[in-house]
Homo-oligomer: A and B are copies of this chain.
Amino acid sequence: MLLTEHEGKRLLAAAGIAVPGGFVVRSAGALARRNVAYPVAVKTQVAAGGRGKAGGVVRARSRREAQNAVSRLLRTSFNGETPRAVLIEPWLEIQRELYLSVTVDPAAEGYVVLYSPRGGVEIEAGKPPARYDVGPAREFRAYRLREILATVETDAAVRERVIALARRLVTLAATRDCTTVEINPLAKLADGSLTAADAKIVRDEYAGFRAADIAAALEKARRPEPRPISRALAGNLMLVWLDGEVGLISGGAGMTMATMDLIGDAGGKPACFLDCSANPTPTGYRLAFELLDGEPKVKVILVSIFGGLTHMDRVARTMKEIMAGRRSRKPVVFRLNGTNAKRVDEIFAEAGLRNHAALENAVAEAVALAKKRYGR
């Protein structure tokens, strides 16, 4: 879960990391009640990258300029994200822009620290940043990072500040369940101090059970989602809408993607990625059907499940029940296999349902049905 800049900076500040003293507003009018020293930076708050290059950060020299910028930014989407707030910060006189981040990296078997003495919007175009493979957070060693930065950052005072900051970021990542903590730019000011001019923090959604703020943020993030996505999340289904017409109900990310690929190869287009493996119960499947039955672009539903822990005789019985009570007339094609799959045919036979033995045949039928319905 990517935080917005001001949410990220709140976490940084709590960990003793310097951030500019800003505040968020949700309307241009809100600025009128604030005593602000100009110039300021007016920064749109979207949980998406590339904002700086796309004009999401504006320098304003007066209240009028700032209010205009706030109004404009609140109306502008970035990367498909509508901002819900704008951050107002003192405009920093930056002597040098640095780059510092801590992320989870398999090659590091844990956290990696990345640093570049030249940060900012063009970071990806420049020389790749210096890399310190930390591993678990407790393996962070200031002296190791110092060795690595010896030739990278020649200003010793900056180097020591960066090392101290890197330790804080690694600790922050580990103790607050962040998978990415990126400060770009990390601003070196005239007095030599370092301030986080921006913050990109990704928190681990799986840690909600022990981090109340992650649980709350997940709950909050769910609300503005369109209703089907929001319902899928609540029902523990993983739903991503795509722009095709073959609705796919599957189990396991791998089988879902593999079936999507086959739909494409058969000349069709998947309407969604819908993985029910985290909730393979009557409730979960019922919800999956409701979501796809209610979505107009879905012309046909393909159920493609290869169960391991999921017992396919139970799935078959569930499908039988759902089919019996279902109002939608969208055709459904089944391919069930896996644990106890040999009982599926027998269960389906009672209900006049058919289960495909081969995945390719099921896909072909689904794509053909979708085309037929499209043609109508």
Contact = CB atoms under 8 A, between A and B. Distances in A.
Interface string A162-177: 0000001001000100
B138 A15 contact: no
8 smallest CB-CB distances across A and B, nearest first, come from A175-B175, A16-B210, A14-B212, A13-B212, A16-B212, A138-B138, A16-B209, A16-B211
Contacts of A215: 16
A213 B13 CA distance: 9
Interface string A3-39: 0000000000111100000000000000000000000
Chain A interface: which size bin?
10 to 19
Nearest to A14: B212
Nearest to A12: B212
A229 B171 CA distance: 34
Among A13, A15, A212, chain B packs the most CB atoms within 10 A around the CB of A212
16 contacts: A13-B212, A14-B211, A14-B212, A14-B213, A15-B210, A15-B211, A15-B212, A16-B209, A16-B210, A16-B211, A16-B212, A16-B215, A138-B138, A168-B210, A171-B175, A175-B175
Interface of A: 13-16, 138, 168, 171, 175, 209-213, 215
A210 B171 CA distance: 11
Contacts of A16: 209-212, 215
Contacts of A212: 13-16
Given A13-B212, A175-B175, 14 more contacts: A14-B211, A14-B212, A14-B213, A15-B210, A15-B211, A15-B212, A16-B209, A16-B210, A16-B211, A16-B212, A16-B215, A138-B138, A168-B210, A171-B175
Contacts of A211: 14-16
A171 B209 CA distance: 14
A171 B210 CA distance: 11
A275 to B, nearest CB: 27
A345 to B, nearest CB: 43
A303 to B, nearest CB: 37
A181 to B, nearest CB: 15
A207 to B, nearest CB: 9
Nearest to A213: B14
Contacts of A171: 175
A206 B117 CA distance: 32
A211 to B, nearest CB: 6
A127 to B, nearest CB: 31
A175 to B, nearest CB: 4
